[in-house]
């Protein structure tokens, strides 16, 4: 611990304030008793699928295609997830199955 307790508390509050600024701003700009501009309603409808795409890529950003294992465990696990989801259409089975396959791959095959 490099900082004093008071400094640490201030740091925690500063980080919280930054994070809360990003969470509360849209709700302050567009309060619920007022109809938001059409463009915001449109964005609210189309952003969720786009942001899910962003999150998938964001999670995989650290995967190197150039060095071994070239993202192969991630690719296999995602294919398993897609196949399981098509087959059983059960969120938990798809997530559990994909994670299990990934764990086995990185712990045994691609160590």
Any contact of residue 65 with other proteins (CB under 8 A)? no
68 binds other proteins (CB under 8 A): no
Q: DSSP of 61-89, one letter per residue?
A: TT--SSSTTTTHHHHHHHHHHHHHHHHH-
Q: Give min distance, CB of 33 to other proteins, in A.
A: 9
Q: Is 83 a residue that touches other proteins (CB under 8 A)?
A: no
- Contact indicator for 27, 40 with CB cutoff of 8 Å: no
Q: Which of 68, 69, 70, 99 binds other proteins (CB under 8 A)?
A: 99
Binding other proteins by CB under 8 A: which of 62, 66, 67, 68?
Answer: 62
Residue 8 within binding range of other proteins, rule CB under 8 A: yes
Cα–Cα distance measured from residue 73 to residue 81, given in angstroms and rounded to the nearest whole number: 12
Distance CA 57, CA 5 (A): 38
Report residue 39 as tokens.
Answer: 């463009």
**Residue 70 CB, nearest approach to other proteins (Å):** 16
């Amino acid at each position: 611990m490099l900082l004093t307790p008071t400094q640490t508390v201030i740091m925690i509050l500063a980080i919280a304030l930054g994070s809360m600024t990003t969470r509360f701003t849209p709700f302050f700009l567009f309060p619920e008793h007022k109809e938001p501009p059409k463009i915001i309603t449109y964005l609210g409808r189309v952003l969720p699928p786009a942001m899910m795409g962003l999150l998938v890529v964001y999670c995989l950003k650290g995967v190197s295609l150039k060095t071994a294992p070239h993202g192969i465990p991630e690719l296999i696990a995602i294919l398993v997830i897609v196949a399981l989801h098509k087959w059983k259409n059960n969120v938990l089975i798809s997530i559990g199955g994909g994670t299990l396959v990934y764990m086995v791959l990185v712990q045994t095959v691609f160590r």
